């Protein structure tokens, strides 16, 4: 059983000399709910998840599983207990979901693969309604659920998903989120995204990555406490924008017809501006700005 995965000072340098990950140390445990790895495109999310899924090795640093170095825990054992959904994956379009999952199960687990497991994963992801439809006629969301089901075939303890909600419509997204929430009650679930609201809606813990570094990591409510009373909102006309930008640390700007609604951050109290309740979005932009 995997209860805890810890990364210590992970670095990844690609062959072309580019360092995609710098000094990454995180510890994730069972029972934290879905953990969101949030960061802009190119931040290093896929690279980090590939290392955690042992698709390729890190350049330096180490991975500890339940407190033991990965090699000591056993690489095969670890892989057997891990389910990894890549950002892009292929399916055989001529097969139906049931056939596809059945074949994958057989391919990986041989004769020992239990048909009941196939039924279970199809039920978990609501695939039964379309289990006999060729994948060529399934929507992106349906295929995404088949992909997630594929990763659960071996009943892993640790579920790693790279941008699992990208390309889903709002209803499909909601369905997938519900399943992930349920799964996270008994498994470790780590997923990546560049969409703040996905983390906001799904996670109590966020890990924010930017330019290959972790810039924030913790419970969202606790991280927000740190900036409580330091976020303000000001509504102004377009022509005053520059002045505001020059005076304050601007987090983000929202267009409101004639006016602009600007959220600013300040460590010192700003008496003439309206204080607002900070959100994950504020935290994110603040982190990114300070990480530049």
Residues that bind Mg ion (CB under 5 A): 45-46, 87
20 in contact with ligand ADP (CB under 6 A): yes
Identify which of 136, 158, 134, 193 has the alpha carbon closest to the alpha carbon of residue 84: 158
Stretch that binds ligand ADP, among 26-34, 38-46, 102-110, 280-288 (CB under 6 A): 38-46
Element (DSSP H or E) covering residue 71:
helix 70-73
Q: Indicate the residue among 48 and 251 with the shorter CB distance to ligand ADP.
A: 48
Element (DSSP H or E) covering residue 78:
helix 75-80
14 in contact with ligand ADP (CB under 6 A): yes
18 in contact with ligand ADP (CB under 6 A): yes
Stretch that binds ligand ADP, among 40-48, 76-84, 133-141, 278-286 (CB under 6 A): 40-48
Residue among 16, 76, 255, 272 that touches ligand ADP (CB under 6 A): 16
Least distance between ligand ADP and beta carbon 5 (Å): 18
Stretch that binds ligand ADP, among 16-24, 119-127, 150-158, 183-191 (CB under 6 A): 16-24
Of residues 44 through 73, those in contact with ligand ADP by CB under 6 A are 44-47
Least distance between ligand ADP and beta carbon 190 (Å): 13
**Measured distance CA(135)–CA(132) in Å, rounded:** 9
176 in contact with ligand ADP (CB under 6 A): no
**Measured distance CA(276)–CA(268) in Å, rounded:** 15
Least distance between ligand ADP and beta carbon 16 (Å): 5
| Contacts with 214 (C-beta within 8 Å, 6 or more apart), sequence order | 24, 25, 26, 207, 208
Distance between first and last Cα of the chain: 39
Instruction: Give me the residue whose beta carbon is nearest to Mg ion.
Output: 46
Residue with tokens 């210590």: 8
17 in contact with ligand ADP (CB under 6 A): no
43 in contact with ligand ADP (CB under 6 A): yes
Joined together, the tokens standing for residue 4 give: 């805890």
Q: Beta strands 35-38 and 188-193: pairing type?
A: parallel
Letter string b/e over residues 253-290, b meaning 16 or more CB atoms within 10 A of that residue's CB? eeeeeeebebbbbeeeeeeebeeeebbbebbbbbbbee
Binding site for ligand ADP (CB under 6 A): 14, 16, 18, 20, 39, 41-47
């Amino acid at each position: 059983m995997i209860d805890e995965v810890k990364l210590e000072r992970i670095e990844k340098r690609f062959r072309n000399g580019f360092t995609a990950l710098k000094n990454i140390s995180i510890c994730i445990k069972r029972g934290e709910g879905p953990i969101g790895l949030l960061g802009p495109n190119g931040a290093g999310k896929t690279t980090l998840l590939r290392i955690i899924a042992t698709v390729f090795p890190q350049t330096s640093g180490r991975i500890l599983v339940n407190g033991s170095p990965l090699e000591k825990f056993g690489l095969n054992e670890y892989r057997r207990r891990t389910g990894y959904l890549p950002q892009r994956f292929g399916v055989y379009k001529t097969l139906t979901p049931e056939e596809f999952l059945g074949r994958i199960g057989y391919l990986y687990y041989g004769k020992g693969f239990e048909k009941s497991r196939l039924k279970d994963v199809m039920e978990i992801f609501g695939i039964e309604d379309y289990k006999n439809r060729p994948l060529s006629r399934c929507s992106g969301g349906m295929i995404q659920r088949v992909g997630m089901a594929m990763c659960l075939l071996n009943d892993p303890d640790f579920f790693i998903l790279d941008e699992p909600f990208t390309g889903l419509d709002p209803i499909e997204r909601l369905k997938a989120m519900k399943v992930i929430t349920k799964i996270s009650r008994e498994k470790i679930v780590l997923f990546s995204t560049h969409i703040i609201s996905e983390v906001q809606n799904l996670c109590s813990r966020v890990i924010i990555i930017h330019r290959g570094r972790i810039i924030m990591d913790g419970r969202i409510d606790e991280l927000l406490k740190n900036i409580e009373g330091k976020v303000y909102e000001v509504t102004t006309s377009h022509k005053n924008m520059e002045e505001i930008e020059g005076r304050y640390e601007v987090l983000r700007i929202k267009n409101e017809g004639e006016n602009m609604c600007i959220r600013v951050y300040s460590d010192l109290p700003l008496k003439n501006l309206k204080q607002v309740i900070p959100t994950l979005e504020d935290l994110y932009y603040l982190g990114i700005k300070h990480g530049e």
